[in-house]
Amino acid sequence: MPPLPKLNNPALVALEERLRVLPKAQLIADIDRAEGLTELIEDDASYPEPWVIERITGDPGASVRPAGGAQARVGGVELKAELSSLVERLCDLGRLTLADFNGTELVEADTLCARWNMSRQTLSRLRRRGLVARRILSESGKPRLMFALATVERFERDHPGAIRRAAEYSRMSPELQQRMIRRASRYKRLLGLSLNAAAARIASRFGRSHEAVRQLLKRYELRAAKGTRAGAGNAEASGESPIFNQAQPLTDSRREAVFRAWRLGIDSSLVCEKFRRSRAAVRRAVNVARATRLFQLAEQGLLSHHAPPPAGALSSAREKLLLKPGAGRKKQTPSAIDAAALMPLDSPPVCTGLGEPALRSINEILAEARAQQPPIAFEERLRLIAYNHLRAQAAVRIAELDRLFPHSTALDQIETYLRWAARLKAALTRTQFRLIVDTLESRMERRLEELPRSAVPKVLHESILAAAEAVDQIDPARAGRLAGPVGIAADRIAGRWRRELSPPFNQAHRRAIPILPNTPDMPDWGRTLCPWQRWLEPHPRTRDAVEQGLLDPRAAEFLRHRFGWSGGPPRTLLELGADFGLTPIRVVVFEQRALRDARAAFAPPAPARAPAQPHAASPA
Q: Are residues 277 and 420 in the same domain?
A: no
Asked if residue 307 belongs to a domain, the reply is: no
Residue ranges making up the domain that contains 557: 538-601
Asked if residue 462 belongs to a domain, the reply is: yes
State mean pLDDT over 485-506.
82
Q: Are residues 134 and 69 in the same domain?
A: yes
Asked if residue 617 belongs to a domain, the reply is: no
The amino acid sitting at 232 is: A
State mean pLDDT over 260-283.
88
Asked if residue 547 belongs to a domain, the reply is: yes
pLDDT at 268: 86
Asked if residue 482 belongs to a domain, the reply is: yes
Cα–Cα distance measured from residue 350 to residue 476, given in angstroms and rounded to the nearest whole number? 14
pLDDT, tens digit, 9 for 90 and up, residues 345-367: 888 899 999 999 998 888 889 99
**pLDDT band, residue 201 (cuts 50/70/90):** very high
- Which range among 5-14, 175-184, 207-216, 515-524 has the greatest average pLDDT? 175-184
pLDDT, tens digit, 9 for 90 and up, residues 236-256: 445 578 888 777 778 888 899
pLDDT at 274: 86
**pLDDT band, residue 293 (cuts 50/70/90):** very high
**pLDDT band, residue 302 (cuts 50/70/90):** confident
Asked if residue 311 belongs to a domain, the reply is: no
State mean pLDDT over 292-319.
62
pLDDT, tens digit, 9 for 90 and up, residues 586-619: 999 999 999 999 988 877 665 655 555 554 444 4
More confident residue, 222 or 217: 217
pLDDT at 611: 58
Are residues 26 and 159 in contact, defined by beta-carbon separation less than 8 angstroms? no
Give the largest Cα separation in the chain, rounded: 117
pLDDT at 605: 64
Tell which residue, 289, 288, 284, has the closest CA to residue 272.
284
pLDDT, tens digit, 9 for 90 and up, residues 71-125: 688 888 888 888 888 998 888 888 888 888 876 788 888 898 888 888 888 888 8
Cα–Cα distance measured from residue 557 to residue 551, given in angstroms and rounded to the nearest whole number? 9
Q: Are residues 282 and 135 in the same domain?
A: no
Lowest mean pLDDT among 174-178, 466-470, 473-477, 507-511: 507-511
Buried b (16+ CB within 10 A) or exposed e, 342-379: ebbbebbbbeebbbeebbbbbeebbeebeebeebebbb
pLDDT at 515: 52
pLDDT at 388: 92
Q: Are residues 114 and 262 in the same domain?
A: no
Lowest mean pLDDT among 47-61, 124-138, 446-460, 492-506: 492-506
More confident residue, 496 or 167: 496
Per-residue pLDDT for 464 more than 70?
yes
**pLDDT band, residue 424 (cuts 50/70/90):** very high
State mean pLDDT over 194-218.
89
Tell which residue, 458, 424, 456, 378, has the closest CA to residue 570.
424
Are residues 602 and 544 in contact, defined by beta-carbon separation less than 8 angstroms? yes
Q: Are residues 42 and 95 in the same domain?
A: yes
How far does the chain reach from its first CA to its final CA, in angstroms? 91
Q: Are residues 531 and 581 in the same domain?
A: no
**pLDDT band, residue 172 (cuts 50/70/90):** confident
pLDDT at 342: 53
More confident residue, 279 or 521: 279
Q: What is the CA radius of gyration of the chain?
A: 35
Q: Are residues 498 and 590 in the same domain?
A: no
| Mean pLDDT across the chain | 82
Q: Are residues 339 and 468 in the same domain?
A: yes
pLDDT at 327: 40
Handedness of CA 87, 88, 90, 95 (dihedral sign): positive
- Which range among 270-274, 427-431, 609-613 has the greatest average pLDDT? 427-431
Q: Are residues 521 and 470 in the same domain?
A: yes
pLDDT, tens digit, 9 for 90 and up, residues 504-537: 555 445 555 555 555 567 888 999 999 999 999 9
Structural domains counted in the chain: 5
Cα–Cα distance measured from residue 439 to residue 474, given in angstroms and rounded to the nearest whole number? 20
pLDDT, tens digit, 9 for 90 and up, residues 362-410: 888 999 999 999 898 889 999 999 999 999 999 999 999 999 899 999 9
Are residues 206 and 180 in contact, defined by beta-carbon separation less than 8 angstroms? yes
Lowest mean pLDDT among 5-14, 322-331, 491-500, 548-557: 322-331
**pLDDT band, residue 474 (cuts 50/70/90):** confident
Handedness of CA 384, 386, 391, 395 (dihedral sign): positive
| 136 membership: H or E segment, kind and range | strand 134-137
pLDDT, tens digit, 9 for 90 and up, residues 433-449: 999 999 999 988 888 88
Q: Are residues 430 and 575 in the same domain?
A: no
More confident residue, 1 or 414: 414
Percent of the chain with pLDDT over 90: 34
**pLDDT band, residue 139 (cuts 50/70/90):** confident
**pLDDT band, residue 467 (cuts 50/70/90):** very high
Asked if residue 246 belongs to a domain, the reply is: no
Are residues 198 and 187 in contact, defined by beta-carbon separation less than 8 angstroms? yes
**pLDDT band, residue 313 (cuts 50/70/90):** very low
pLDDT, tens digit, 9 for 90 and up, residues 56-72: 888 766 554 444 445 68
Q: Are residues 526 and 544 in the same domain?
A: no
Percent of the chain with pLDDT over 70: 83
Buried b (16+ CB within 10 A) or exposed e, 52-77: bbbbbbeeeebbeeeeeeeeeebebb
pLDDT at 439: 93
Asked if residue 309 belongs to a domain, the reply is: no
Q: Are residues 337 and 429 in the same domain?
A: yes
